[in-house]
Each structure stands twice: as C-alpha cells, then as structure tokens.
Amino acid sequence: MEFRHLGRSGLMISEIAYGNWITHGSQVEEEAADACVKAALDVGITTFDTADVYAGTRAEEVLGRALKGQRREGLEIFTKVFWPTGPGPNDRSLSRKHIMESINGSLRRLQLDYVDLYQAHRYDYSTPLEETMQAFADIVHSGKALYIGVSEWTAAEIRAGWELARELKIQLVSNQPQYSMLWRVIESEVVPTCEELGLGQVVFSPIAQGVLTGKYEPGKQPPAGSRATDEKSGAQFIQRLMTDEVLGAVQRLKPLAEQAGLSMAQLAVAWVLQNPNVSAAIVGASRPEQVHDNAKASGVRLDADLVKAIDEVIGGIAERDPAKTVSPARRP
C-alpha cells in the first residue's frame, strides 16, 4: 500500500481508503463487514471513511467495533455530518447545534476520543457558513477532530469555506466528491481550485457503483444479487448508468485492462489515482476478496497511451458538467 499527503497537510493517508456507505449495517451482516475491515487492514489500508447517516448511524457502530483493539495512532478515521440522523428539525444540517451533537454521537458510536477528519457531508444553504465554520473550529480546538473536510461542494463554496477556516486558524484540507471515468464533474472547476488552495480529493465511487467492473452487459438483466437489483445497496443511484451506451463502452475497456494486467476494478481505481489532486480513492466491499482486488490498484501507474485509449473509449459519454455538483438534494 502506498500513501499520500491529504492535500497540502502533513497527514499521510493510504491511497486506497475503505468506506462503508452502503454495506455496513445494511447490505451485509456484521460478520461479513468485520471480515472486510480485517481484509483492509491486512492489505495495508489505514484510512477508513464513514458518516453518521450511513445505515441510520449503524455503519459507524459497526466500524467502531471492527476497529476496536487496533493501534489508534496507526489509523486515519473520517466521518461526516449533515444528513438527518433523527426525526427532529435540528437533527440535520450544518447548524452549530447539529454539528456539536453529531460529533459527540459519532465519537460514541466509533468508540473514539477524536476523528482525524470531520467532513461537511454537503453544503448547507439554510445555515450561515460562518456559523458552520465556527462550530468546526471549536471542534478542532477541543481536540475532537484534527482536520476539517467537505463533500460535494462547488469550487466557490470550497473557496469561501477555506477563507473562513484560515481566519479561524483551522485546516480545511479535503473535498470528498464522486469521481470516476464516467463522472468527471470536478475536473474543470473543483480540482483547479483545490490545487490552488491545497485541498486533496478523497473520491468515492471510483468504480461507478460497480458499473466499471464490466459485470453489467448491454441488453442483459443485471446479475441476481448485484447492486443494480438491491434497493438496500443504492440501486437508485446506479440506474442512470445502466444504459446500453454506457455499458457497451465499459465492455470495450476489457481488452485495455487485460493488456495492462489489471482487473476492471483495478483499472478504474488506478485511473482516478492518476489525478495528482486525488489523495485517496474510497472503495467499499461486501466480501474480503473485493478488498484484496481493489487494493492492488495502489501504486499502479498507467502509461500515457493507455490513458489516451481509455479516454477514446469512454470519454465521450462521461459526465463533465460542473453544475452537477450543486444541490444537496441531488445525491446522498
């Protein structure tokens, strides 16, 4: 496993991170989730990403139990706040009240004294940014989080947050966007802004919810038990990719992966890691062997001809519109 700085901070993280968005506490039983975490540790992954909202707070609990007994100083544990975690009007958003209560809840569920990175899971249009950033600053100054990040913020929102963080003497070091061969909306605005300000990308869905594994074929029903057929595993988010045009293009990547000696998943993860602004790619898993396969993308360098060939196959159907990263209602 290779390691990278998180943005321009001094924090080193594994370039493959393990995330439990739609697995722990919902899609897979805890025994299987525990086995996946142990597999991640076995392959050298030290960075683990979760959120209070995942599986209705259960994902944090599962991860906390799975990591119990591990050397805390050898791990980088990330979580997030924004989405509803209860029925009340203050059980959501980036208000000071919700942030302060949420960090305490996350630490309790994770069985930790602090998290390495506390992230705003989306931009909150209903709360003044000054209120949000002051709450984050107080959490950092209290020692409950070491660094602050955001997720799916636009370039302008990131810049405004960074400027306030600097005034408050805390480090805003990362953005967590969706990024893959098929979803490139960060490339034109977010990445240049983050390069300028010193933020790194910790990207999710590098395999496009499994589409880039090539297991979905045009004109055929999705395999039984796959994410595209399981409502608990986020089938609604994969449907926009389940077109013959997209699936056909993905099939044409298979010879390129074979020539490179990579699985399709490894090719997809390695592709996002070629972007120098990407600090880590988050992978999830329902089986330990998926963790082992994805981790082999660490350290892979794709030559220029291969990158060009990938773009010729799939670049024309990739989503690049930066406006797709706008509303917190768009994606979870």
Answer yes or no: 125 catalytic: no
Question: Which of 18, 54, 147, 216 is flagged as catalytic?
Answer: 54
* C-alpha torsion sign, points 35, 37, 40, 44: negative
Q: What is the C-alpha to C-alpha distance for residues 256 and 305, in angstroms, rounded to an integer? A: 10
Q: How far apart are CA 227 and CA 231, in angstroms?
A: 8
Under DSSP, the state recorded for 87 is S
Let me know the angle formed at the C-alpha of 267 by 265 and 273, rounded to the nearest 5 degrees.
Answer: 105
Q: Is 70 exposed, middle or buried (0-12, 13-18, 19+ CB in 10 A)?
A: middle
Note the residue count of the chain.
332
Cross-strand bridge partners of residue 5: 12
Alpha helices in 168-209 (DSSP H): 190-197
User: Which DSSP category does 222 fall into?
Assistant: P
Q: What amino acid is encoded at 257 in this protein?
A: A
Catalytically active residues are 54
